[in-house]
Chain A
């Protein structure tokens, strides 16, 4: 299974949400990182045939996905950022309905729904109405619907947004479990999600991929170093204006800073190992404040 994006551009009026994108995607987990408005959701929607590119082509094993139509969507599982559902459907009915939309025969669908409910831990809630589920349970129902057709391409747009830490870890593990032998594209602005489960990381800004590679390659791509230092509260305020500060921690009247810079910000600052959050801040600048 190979997905290719060839010179893909999507415009909304004069605004270019995705610009001249060229990517080749094979089996594995791809983490798409970027701030809000970077073009992640537009890219996801194009891959899901919800939105055609203004120019360029998206190919699946060499064939245009928009021409493949249902044949392509048969390979697809999608959990959108804004996961909507039918409020008065039970979880089971909801999954059976989506199964019918995915062309799964009723007999097979019943078994598949039962298995997936067990896998996502919703067996006991099968007959609960969707509107009665908690945020985490809804997301799990969402991943279950995406997995119904055992998709070869699984697209997850901000799958952990709004989940509490426990649910997020649980959900992350579930995605790792489901990622065997398929393409998983995970779009998020939560750095740790990508750090834990992605084989390859794409950093997206202004509709373009600025950096792509595995975690080590991504960390190595920084042209600057990460320094740790301890300063007074007053100095910390000054340094935040001057440098990209990826973390600060106050303790006993002093502040521990984590700074990204080309040279030591102050005498005595020590070089530390970079993390993906540092890389995120490095590429996305002042918007790094949105990181978790």
Chain B
């Protein structure tokens, strides 16, 4: 029965077009993710592609190791040496590119140092220029202090209560210092476009599964379906299962292909590097590695996709039309853009399902919630709420479709 339901889904021309669009999007995403990594040669000329990524990896792996005081001082020394030899000259692009080519092997560590010695809400690209060798070793201590200073400043006034402040400080303290570094460009680049590909999977899958219930009505096959022995029970269950299988298989095939291609081309090393190592996630209070962040992105994306598509299927079962159902994932993705100005909605928007598809971004946000006397970030909450809601939608879908009347 499930086989026939899946066959129904893929027999539609729209489904075939959707799959072609998804395949095309996958290729484009892989291309952008791979070319996201660029290598500057001796002349400061930029190169992208697999060979360029390899050259950059070789440069970065020279700095592989624990970023303790000695390592940070070595970075500082090297940076100052390069800056003297190849100084940055405002307005002189070729000189600046030459400078960048020399520092690209440790650019992430350099940016981390810049972040670590700026005020919490600021960033100064040249902060490293004014740092002394004695200071640079205090970066980890400084990270916590910078947070505390900001939490107690007027800027953060009213944003967090005392317990929340204590939670954030504790999370910062729990980060194991010194951090370990090695090239993680493959993971970073894969993460950059994972969000795009997950959203595309969800939107394309919506075209596939949103008609799973309503097509019986548009094809006028509903009367026969519901008058059979198992139409209202096993037939309905087969539709739910078919939707789940189609979404899951497409999701994991596309994500696996994407991950294999991007990590295969850019390298999968650096998965054990903490996300705080570098510029993008230095302030995150989630103490996880890049590989864990990638897995979290994939799992959360899957949960979000299944939730949105189950909701779409539920609407299809209730309204008997795919027109409204297919718009559900779009509404979930774009609604927060229109209502984000309403402050009273900020709590809800912090755990709105679109966020499950944007883990790489919300890993940096300080959305905190009180659950049973404990303080937790938005990600763990969403990872619990949405699977539960998705599971609850299964009997609801079944009930709604099972009780259908043909008038």
Contacts and interface: CB of A to CB of B under 8 A. Distances in A.
Partners in one complex: yes
Given A50-B226, A50-B406, A97-B4, A88 B233 contact: no
B341 interface: no
Contacts of B405: 50-52
Given A78-B223, A102-B229, A51 B12 contact: no
Contacts of B370: none
Contacts of B145: none
Interface stretch (A68-76, A165-173, A264-272): A68-76
Interface stretch (A79-87, A222-230, A283-291): A79-87
Contacts of A79: 224
Contacts of A100: 1, 4, 230
Classify the secondary structure of A's interface with B: loop
B407 interface: yes
Given A70-B229, A101-B230, A51 B224 contact: no
Nearest to B4: A97
A66 B8 CA distance: 29
Interface in B224-273: 224-235
Interface string B167-184: 000000000000000000
Given A48-B227, A76-B227, A98-B228, A85 B219 contact: yes
A41 B363 CA distance: 58
B374 interface: no
A162 interface: no
Interface in B262-307: none
A51 B406 CA distance: 6
Given A86-B8, A100-B4, A48 B219 contact: no
Interface residues of B, number: 27
Contact of B12 (A52, A84, A88, A102): A88
Contacts of B227: 48-50, 73, 76, 78
B220 A83 contact: yes
A12 B407 contact: yes
A84 B8 CA distance: 14
A93 interface: yes
B228 A84 contact: no
A149 interface: yes
A244 to B, nearest CB: 34
Contacts of B234: 101, 103
Interface in A31-89: 45, 48-52, 69-70, 73-74, 76, 78-80, 82-89
B7 interface: yes
Contact of A50 (B8, B219, B223): B223
Interface string B206-234: 00000000001001111111111111111
A51 B7 contact: no
A76 B226 CA distance: 11
A246 interface: no
Given A73-B229, A149-B229, A101 B235 contact: yes
Nearest to A142: B224
Nearest to A70: B229
Nearest to A85: B221
B224 A145 contact: yes
Most chain B CB atoms below 10 A, which of A50, A80, A103 = A50
